[in-house]
Structure 1
């Protein structure tokens, strides 16, 4: 049994370990979320895409949250990107996700008890904050700067996930890059609400570093993606294990810059963006299809492989429980060693 490092985050979310699994939509994370929660951290249900339309969004997110509820007795979260500078169908799809999650929670006692956190990202959550808070859920938002973290605190959010430029998926604009090691202490100095560190988090060293920088815990995406229980295709996981330094690239995602691993599919999308031959809506739909092709079908040549720079540090595929417990054991060992060096 792993020794426990208990922070304010653990008490707030009702979890054993101060670790959150990142939302990774449009990828399915149903099995992963349940496994993470069962292992004592907080699993997160991801949305099945922003181009699916409100009817599909309602059906799929309802299915996802009830499947996770069935497969874990512990607490879990849900994530929805909330950017507004997108086509109308995506705004309606976002509204459908938020409304369905809140309605399902209101109508289900177990969801009210265990679906405790709504994580918003990739935009300003002001449009949804009151509805989320009135539903009884805690509300965290993913932020790229101390400036945005202070805005979230003023808005009344319960916590922020400070995500450095290293993170996979949506990341910082080129003129506003802040790396994790600079971002986390800046945010923890700027706000009083709990701060979760994200971007490059994957092991005991990064957990201890995050705690030392003032965070209450960490959020991991890529590390959890490469686990035995993860919903992702085995080809996708192996592609990350095989990745080394300089394997990643940043292109244009739905809400801005997004990090993925370099392959034929990513280079083709970059070319289409440069040529401008497709409309924004057509290009966004194509990106979703390429993301699904890699995760669901294992097409790591033509698909898009969303992942963080930390992919270069992941060289094994363990169970979720082994990942979490190795982090906690390793973190306590590091802290003990540091304590022993005090004179």
Structure 2
């Protein structure tokens, strides 16, 4: 068990692509400058010009490599074409099939492909066959949209065994916020870790200050489907157990956000209106509050992983990367080097 970089990066620390626009250029650049793998979040609608602008803005903030995450469940072909033209280092994919054609196109552009899986081993096996560069294994503990029911530490070693001698790094995601989780993942065969909630709670994230504060105040989360049923059906998610959620956790299955009252407004990816993201935020919409959001923020979705209770303060993103690596090194040195 040892710490090392992956995919040509200095450290095996991945900052998840936080939606809908929480991981903007400032956060991604801060992670990249610290040696980690920062991932922008691609919009959920086709807007190649904006994608190009986001990538180029990030390049003005760092000369280090970074990537972008794409949700394959939404329109994405033009966006992906732009991502490959801009030659980011990593194309991260989730919630959809990672095709050989897409992998080949990315490799032709010099871009590495890293899909994320959270259901069963069949899609992982197929991804290995089409030549992906790494695999993210997401456990049920993760915040945000998660369809898998297996915990990370039961799923992770199975994927590591499946990959076997393919020389493909396996990256662990779900409920990891500190060095103890990092080392635990390494001990099960992972070569890196992907953190979401911990990076939402950083100075550079584009989350609203109230959202960030709630990540410090609350310790419990719940796996639910009450947010965003119309926009993204069949996509359960893990959220903070806020008073609003406690009041509405038993929302009847036939109800969704469509006919609900407007509780706020937000500019998302610089856009007030679009086919999939509206300026108006209705009750039970799956939109988390960003820096521009106004209205009843207490009643909005706030995604968080199960280990949120371990997050005690808002930190600079670079400090998160540095402390993960340094504390993990110290933990391995003190606890494991002399184990018989």
TM-score, with length taken from structure 2: 0.82
Of residues 235, 239, 264, the one that matches 2:210 is 235
Structure 2 CA distance, aligned partners of 1:268 and 1:274? 14
Compare 179-188 and 143-152 and name the one that shifted more. Answer: 143-152
SS class of match (1:80): strand
SS class of match (1:335): helix
Compare the two structures and name the one with the higher helix fraction.
1
Of residues 259, 278, 282, the one that matches 2:238 is 259
Structure 2 CA distance, aligned partners of 1:318 and 1:44? 18
SS class of match (2:113): strand
Is 2:193 aligned against 1:196? no
* Structure 2 portions without partners, runs of 5+: 260-275
- What is aligned with 1:331? 328
C-alpha displacement of 1:141: 0.2
C-alpha displacement of 1:339: 3.4
Q: Tell me the alpha carbon deviations over residues 5-37 of structure 1, each in whole angstroms, 9 at most, x when there is no partner.
A: 324x1xx2x322110110112124121101100
* Structure 1 portions without partners, runs of 5+: 84-89, 106-111
Is 2:41 aligned against 1:23? no
C-alpha displacement of 1:195: 0.5
- What is aligned with 1:143? 117
Compare 268-277 and 216-225 and name the one that shifted more. Answer: 268-277
- What is aligned with 1:208? 183
**Is the Cα–Cα contact under 8 Å of residues 22 and 200 in structure 2 kept in the other structure?**
no
Structure 2 CA distance, aligned partners of 1:320 and 1:213? 26
Compare 255-264 and 329-338 and name the one that shifted more. Answer: 255-264
Structure 2 CA distance, aligned partners of 1:154 and 1:270? 42
**Is the Cα–Cα contact under 8 Å of residues 21 and 220 in structure 1 kept in the other structure?**
yes
- What is aligned with 1:226? 201
Count matched residues.
308
Structure 2 CA distance, aligned partners of 1:288 and 1:198? 32
**Is the Cα–Cα contact under 8 Å of residues 249 and 262 in structure 1 kept in the other structure?**
no
- What is aligned with 1:134? 108
C-alpha displacement of 1:61: 1.4
- What is aligned with 1:153? 128
Kindly report which structure 2 residues correspond to 1:97-136, keeping only aligned pairs within 5 A, or say none.
Answer: 97-103=79-85, 105=86, 112=87, 115-126=88-99, 128-136=102-110
Q: 1:75 to 1:267 in 2, by over 3 A?
A: farther
**Is the Cα–Cα contact under 8 Å of residues 26 and 291 in structure 1 kept in the other structure?**
no
- What is aligned with 1:67? 57
Kindly report which structure 2 residues correspond to 1:285-304, keeping only aligned pairs within 5 A, or say none.
Answer: 289=281, 290-292=285-287, 294-296=289-291, 297=293, 299-304=296-301
C-alpha displacement of 1:42: 1.0
